């Protein structure tokens, strides 16, 4: 009887969850509490709903317990047909606590159309099965509007349609009465806003039935998640986003002149007063949508395309709130069933027809007209491939508008004179005679014409069936599905009618279709339920952990103890709080959190530190053009898994036509003209690293940067600061130069923090490099465009200079320091200067805090002596004695002699350190990246375009920002501001590399195991910042994050100024001033250091520069 009452009660409230009485109650509560503020309203409503539903919650739990008991009495246990019994469920993270497997809370799945039977529903049921498997005692509540269907019918359909068997006793359906509020037909005007408002009503309906312990939306109702967080602060929220409600591409499609203005159903509709109003409405909605998205605890997206747009819209606010970034979790598709029933063999190949299959609802955005036009163009060629070819259009018809559309498509086929070769099949079943499965079995080509389809389940099904795909060159089909396997294509991409026609020709004319079919099928295996579960469970574990932290003090205490034991006292905002035992695979640190995440993703996908370095560095070149990019060059130090070191010099070189006096009377030509650029080495350097150490295909590690450039990234605080610095003289080239304005001021006003910056020309260049390697940059059209732009600006670089550029691989230099081995790059980098500073201070006891003021003076003096020696360094290819000179610099005796010359009581004039009075040009902007992995492969790389935004010349066709590294050479007859003459060793010669301050360092234990990989960006300050960071770790026993936070000092002898960051205490500064130092104060911007430390337990500690607001050090 009690069980019966429980069921009755649940259904009663499900039917009348938002009846007039409860609606009136809600409005009354809102009215009374309106003036008390949002927080008070939220708490009051939360209390009201919790109290109102307390009895129902108890009844539901009792009902489920009763059903579980009854099930056990009949079945003994969850048998293998219904439950996969494994100790560690597939996908459970390595660091998951065994204790939380017993978590028995309520997970609410918000899916108002759960019985629809589509791809979104497959995600829902796969997620529930994975949740049941990971937490057998958890209760899964599905909020649905499918009143007419009972629980048993829904679960039977899940089994039949998706082959997913769920454990019935721990599932309950709560029926919503307000689903009409989210139907598009309910909002013929202002549909976006109306449906979003409707989702708030629908969510209130759900919470009136039962507030869950964790709330997950699997349909895309982000506003429902916001309402949950507004009402219940302690309820973690998760979103699986199939499609952003609004996207930057949608906003752009309103403008006919924008890159997306020719695509989509709203193409070019932003004209006129009505169009301007639509723009304002959409932009206002996008702002609200970003606010809502920032409230969600865990965000999962179904594709790279969706992830990019969600990151664009939600990312800036989520970053500000320290919320984790949206992750990509590819959805499960019916791959196994299709593979089981459709063979891809030489025998099955005989059954294939010359059929081009397009499966898709007859909606406008599916672009059937484009495919018909392309097919007509293809058939008009009358090649052998066209003989007997036919186009099969299979899709559902939802309403009269769809029926009319099909009629119009038939008329178009007749008009294009392809009527006899086109078939329409409407509302066909999947199985049975004439069903979709039969068409997948006999067709040869799979077609998708939709622009920016967020994912493309049908395309995955094509691949699983072995069809060769010809798909639109956009969205999920391009980025996630029809991609290369083992460096070979799985299909073709197209945009225009002609491109599709060519794709049809190429696909049907392939001599070995079977090979591509097998690759396509292999590609489809990435979309199985097993792969989905591997990604779903770690995200659900985050939500469960958030819930336990708030409601289970015993669990929280145990977790904290565990974290402390495993060394996570290091957490200081440097990386996400993953358990240390999970952080043993590798680490990435860079000035961009976004790019570090890309590097980590490469490691997780089976790549190594070299793969991660290429991907991260290319990304940094996209998001930080002020410092880095393929128009520049740099240095890297590599420690191989075998412990062998290489110094890879990919520094820019002077063109063949360069000469010593080329800037006579034209010093500014070394900064702003085409003469300012050396031959860039970035691409050859990265390819050289990958060729020697990489694992993943070249294209796979280039593609993330292509995506970031093409689809955009939020402008960061750091980028805005550098743009302001670059235009401080009043000339804003970002808006005044049309080639810069295309990207940085597309609407005439320079982009600001949070705005989305796209670099589509640069994306095209990167894509060429991804396809063709370094030849795509140093030869062909890209090289022609780059050289032409430089020559048009009075440059001398030629195509031969580009083609002949080579990296230089040298033996590194090293010293012993306090029992460690420190290795760095030699000249023309500044590694020997940094090591010289450390070798000098090794003779002092730096761990004694009582001598802090004296040791700071000694450190400053060591800098001055080492920088004096730097004036004698140059390109070793032009000075045969350079190796011996550096070796002498680093001798223990040299360091000892210098210590004897250092006075503890005073500093000296410049001639005491540098009798020749030679000076070197000031170095400028750089970017640094560090990557390591569990094999011992460690890489520390610095890249640069020199001054902020290089020569400020962006190539119109390629989007490449060219360097002005020629300014790093010394110019004869041009003394510096203090009257000192330039160093002849650094004069210009053809093919010569200018001197640099780059000082990457790798530290090894005495037994040869890697300990610290570090480096810095920041021009001439690189050397001192790197040396001090190493000193803090090795001498002061600091963690890497602690070391990077310490205030820094810099003295490069010329000018004779000791520069202190503001964070230094006054006493230290006064002590040095008393010893005769010319002291000045600066803000906290003395270089940007990145590093990774490997701890004794094998975990990685990634540290990223805290002086940069958007840097990121991450481990996995």
Domains annotated on the chain, with CATH? 355-523 (3.40.50.2000), 714-757 (no CATH)
Per the DSSP assignment, residues forming a β-bridge with 1060 are 1049, 1081
pTM of the model: 0.54
For 925, the token pair is: 């902007």
Q: Of the candidates 639, 1050, 1006, which has an alpha carbon nearest to the alpha carbon of residue 817?
A: 1006
Question: How far is 991 from 796, CA to CA, in rounded Å?
Answer: 13
pLDDT at position 978 is: 35
Q: Vertex 1087, ends 1086 and 1092: CA angle to 5°? A: 130
- Read off φ and ψ for residue 982, nearest 5 degrees: -70, 160
Residue 716 near residue 594, CB atoms below 8 Å: no
Catalytic residue, chosen from 926, 931, 940, 1039, is 926
Helix axes 852-870, 831-841, angle to 10 degrees: 150
Q: Strands (DSSP E) along 277-322, which ranges? A: 298-301
Q: Would you call 386 a catalytic residue per the annotation? A: no
DSSP assignment of 200-242, as one string?
HHHHHHHHHH---SEEEESSS-HHHHHHHHHH-TTS-EEEEES
Question: How far is 939 from 1015, CA to CA, in rounded Å?
Answer: 10
Residue 727 near residue 744, CB atoms below 8 Å: no
Give the DSSP letter of residue 478: I
Residue 109 near residue 218, CB atoms below 8 Å: yes
Query: Could you tell me the mean pLDDT of each successive run of 10 residues in the chain, 1116 residues long?
Result: 32 40 53 56 85 93 91 61 35 46 90 88 94 93 92 90 90 93 86 89 95 96 94 94 78 51 48 68 84 94 89 86 88 90 92 94 90 96 95 87 91 95 90 87 95 87 95 90 88 95 95 94 90 90 86 47 32 30 80 93 92 97 94 96 96 94 85 92 97 93 92 89 83 91 91 91 95 96 96 95 96 95 93 94 82 90 90 85 89 93 92 64 72 96 91 95 90 55 83 91 96 91 93 93 92 86 84 90 77 93 87 86
3-class DSSP assignment, residue 392: strand
Q: What residues have CB less than 8 Å from 544, skipping those under 6 apart?
A: 100, 103, 105, 135, 214, 236
Question: How far is 1069 from 1078, CA to CA, in rounded Å?
Answer: 10
Helix axes 20-33, 38-75, angle to 10 degrees: 140
Question: How far is 110 from 222, CA to CA, in rounded Å?
Answer: 10
Task: Tell me the CA end-to-end span of the chain in Å, nearest whole number.
Answer: 53
- Read off φ and ψ for residue 108, nearest 5 degrees: -95, 120
Q: What is the 3-state secondary structure (H, E, C) of 956-1005?
A: CCCCCECCCHHHHCECCCCCCCCCCEECHHHECCCCCCCCCCCCCEEEEC
Mark the binding-site residues for L-glutamate, compressed into ranges.
651, 944-946, 968, 996-997, 1019
Q: Of the candidates 961, 837, 954, which has an alpha carbon nearest to the alpha carbon of residue 899?
A: 837
914-929 as b/e, with b when 16 or more CB fall inside 10 Å?
A: beebbbbbbbbbbbbb
- Report the Cα 373 to chain-centroid distance in Å: 37
Question: How far is 486 from 235, CA to CA, in rounded Å?
Answer: 44
Question: How far is 88 from 137, CA to CA, in rounded Å?
Answer: 15
Q: Give the CA radius of gyration of the chain.
A: 32
Is cis: bond before 957, omega within 30 of 0? Answer: no
Count Cα neighbours of 761 within 13 Å in the Cβ-side half-sphere: 17
Residue 863 near residue 910, CB atoms below 8 Å: no
Question: How far is 661 from 651, CA to CA, in rounded Å?
Answer: 21
Question: How far is 213 from 236, CA to CA, in rounded Å?
Answer: 7
pLDDT at position 365 is: 86
The sign of the dihedral angle between the CA atoms of 352, 355, 361, 364 is: positive
DSSP assignment of 503-554, as one string?
HHHHHHH-TTHHHHHHHHHHHHGGGSHHHHHHHHHHHHHHHHHHHHHHH-HH
Helix axes 119-134, 151-162, angle to 10 degrees: 100
């Amino acid at each position: 009887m009690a069980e019966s009452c429980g069921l009755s009660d649940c259904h009663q409230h499900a039917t009348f969850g938002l009846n007039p009485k409860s609606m009136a109650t809600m409005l009354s509560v809102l009215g009374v509490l309106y003036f008390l503020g949002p927080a008070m309203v939220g708490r009051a409503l939360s209390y009201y709903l919790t109290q109102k539903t307390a009895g129902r919650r108890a009844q539901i739990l009792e009902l489920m317990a009763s059903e579980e008991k009854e099930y056990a009495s009949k079945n003994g246990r969850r048998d293998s047909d219904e439950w996969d019994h494994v100790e560690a469920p597939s996908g459970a993270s390595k660091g998951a606590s065994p204790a939380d497997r017993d978590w028995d809370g309520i997970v609410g799945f918000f899916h108002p159309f759960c019985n629809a039977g589509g791809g979104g529903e497959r995600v829902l049921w796969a997620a529930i099965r994975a949740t049941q498997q990971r937490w057998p005692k958890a209760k899964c509540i599905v909020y649905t509007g499918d009143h007419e269907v009972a629980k048993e019918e829904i679960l039977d359909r899940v089994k039949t349609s998706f082959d997913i068997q769920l454990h019935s006793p721990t599932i309950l359906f709560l029926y919503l009465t307000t689903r009409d509020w989210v139907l598009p037909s309910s909002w013929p005007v202002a549909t976006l806003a109306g449906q979003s408002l409707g989702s708030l009503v629908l969510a209130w309906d759900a919470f009136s039935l039962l507030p869950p312990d964790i709330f997950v939306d699997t349909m895309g109702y982000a506003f429902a998640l916001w309402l949950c967080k507004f009402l219940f602060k302690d309820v973690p929220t998760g979103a699986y986003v199939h499609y952003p409600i609004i996207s930057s591409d949608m906003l752009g499609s309103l403008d006919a002149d924008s890159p997306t203005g020719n695509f989509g159903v709203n193409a070019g509709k932003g004209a006129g007063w009505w169009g301007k109003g639509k723009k304002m409405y959409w932009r206002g909605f996008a702002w609200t949508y970003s606010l809502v998205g920032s409230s969600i605890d865990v965000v999962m997206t179904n594709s790279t395309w969706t992830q990019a747009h969600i990151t664009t819209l939600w990312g800036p606010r989520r970053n500000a709130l320290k919320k984790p970034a949206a992750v990509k979790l590819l959805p499960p598709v019916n791959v196994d069933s299709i593979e089981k029933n459709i063979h891809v063999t030489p025998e099955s190949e005989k059954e294939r027809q010359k059929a081009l299959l397009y499966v898709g609802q007859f909606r406008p955005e599916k672009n059937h007209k484009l495919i018909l036009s392309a097919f007509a163009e293809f058939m008009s060629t009358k090649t052998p491939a066209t003989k007997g070819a036919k186009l099969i259009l299979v899709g559902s018809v939802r309403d009269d508008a769809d029926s009319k559309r099909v009629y119009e498509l038939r008329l178009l086929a007749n008009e294009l004179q392809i009527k006899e070769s086109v078939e329409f099949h409407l509302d066909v079943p999947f199985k049975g005679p004439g069903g979709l499965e039969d068409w997948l079995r006999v067709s040869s080509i799979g077609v998708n014409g939709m622009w920016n389809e967020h994912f493309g389940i049908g395309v995955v099904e094509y691949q699983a069936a072995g069809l060769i795909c010809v798909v639109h060159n956009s969205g999920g089909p391009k980025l996630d599905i029809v991609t290369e396997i083992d460096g070979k294509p799985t299909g073709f991409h197209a945009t225009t009618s002609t491109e599709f026609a060519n794709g049809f020709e190429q696909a049907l004319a392939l001599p070995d279709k079977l090979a591509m079919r097998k690759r396509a099928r292999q590609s489809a295996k990435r979309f199985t339920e097993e792969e989905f579960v591997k990604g779903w469970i770690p995200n659900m574990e985050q939500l469960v952990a958030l819930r336990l932290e708030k409601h289970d003090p015993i669990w929280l205490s145990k977790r904290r103890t565990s974290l402390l034991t495993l060394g996570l006292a290091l957490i200081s905002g440097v990386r996400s709080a993953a358990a240390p035992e999970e952080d043993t695979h590798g680490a990435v640190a860079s000035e961009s959190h976004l790019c570090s995440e890309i590097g980590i993703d490469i490691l997780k996908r089976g790549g190594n530190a070299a793969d991660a370095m290429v991907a991260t560095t290319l990304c940094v070149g996209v998001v930080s053009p002020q410092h880095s990019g393929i128009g520049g060059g740099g240095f890297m130090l590599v420690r191989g898994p075998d412990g062998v070191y290489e110094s890879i010099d990919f520094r820019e070189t002077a063109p063949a036509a360069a000469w010593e006096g080329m800037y006579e009377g034209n010093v500014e030509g070394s900064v702003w003209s085409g003469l300012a650029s050396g031959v860039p080495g970035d691409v050859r350097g990265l390819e050289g690293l990958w060729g020697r150490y990489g694992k993943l295909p070249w294209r796979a590690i280039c593609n993330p940067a292509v995506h970031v450039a093409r689809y955009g990234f939020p402008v960061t605080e750091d980028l805005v600061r550098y743009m302001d610095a670059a235009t401080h003289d009043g000339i804003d080239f970002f808006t005044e130069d049309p080639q810069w304005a295309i990207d940085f001021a597309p609407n005439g006003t320079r982009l600001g923090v949070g705005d989305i910056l796209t670099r589509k020309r640069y994306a095209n260049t990167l894509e060429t490099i991804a396809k063709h390697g370094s030849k795509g940059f140093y030869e062909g059209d890209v090289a022609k465009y780059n050289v032409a732009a430089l020559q048009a600006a009075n440059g001398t670089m030629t195509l031969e200079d580009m083609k002949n550029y080579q990296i230089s691989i040298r033996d590194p230099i090293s010293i012993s320091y306090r029992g460690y081995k420190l290795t760095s790059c030699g000249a023309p980098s500044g590694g020997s200067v940094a090591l010289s500073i450390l070798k000098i201070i090794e003779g002092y006891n730096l761990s004694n805090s009582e001598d802090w003021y004296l040791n700071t003076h000694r450190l400053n003096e060591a800098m001055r002596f080492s920088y004096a020696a730097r004036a004698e360094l140059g390109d070793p290819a032009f000075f045969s004695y350079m190796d011996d000179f550096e070796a002498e610099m680093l001798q223990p005796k040299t360091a000892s002699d210098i210590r004897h010359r250092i006075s503890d009581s005073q500093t000296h004039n410049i001639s005491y350190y540098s009798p020749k009075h030679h000076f070197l040009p000031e170095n400028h902007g750089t970017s640094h990246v560090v990557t390591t992995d569990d094999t011992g492969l460690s890489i520390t790389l610095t890249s640069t375009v020199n001054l902020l935004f290089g020569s400020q010349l962006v190539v119109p066709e390629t989007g490449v920002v060219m360097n002005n590294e020629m300014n790093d050479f010394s110019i004869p007859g041009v003394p510096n501001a203090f009257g000192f003459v330039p160093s002849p060793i650094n004069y210009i010669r053809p093919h010569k590399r200018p001197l640099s301050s780059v000082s990457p360092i790798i530290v090894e234990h005495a037994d040869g195991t890697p300990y610290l990989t570090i480096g810095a960006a920041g021009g001439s300050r690189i050397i001192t910042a790197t040396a001090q960071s190493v000193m803090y770790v090795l001498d002061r026993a600091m963690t890497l994050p602690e070391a990077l936070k310490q205030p820094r000092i810099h003295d490069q002898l010329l000018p004779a100024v000791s520069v202190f960051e503001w964070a230094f205490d006054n006493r230290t500064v006064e002590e040095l001033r008393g010893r005769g130092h010319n002291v000045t104060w600066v803000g906290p911007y003395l270089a940007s250091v990145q590093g990774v430390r490997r701890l004794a337990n094998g975990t990685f500690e990634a540290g990223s520069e805290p002086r940069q607001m958007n840097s990121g050090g991450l481990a996995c």
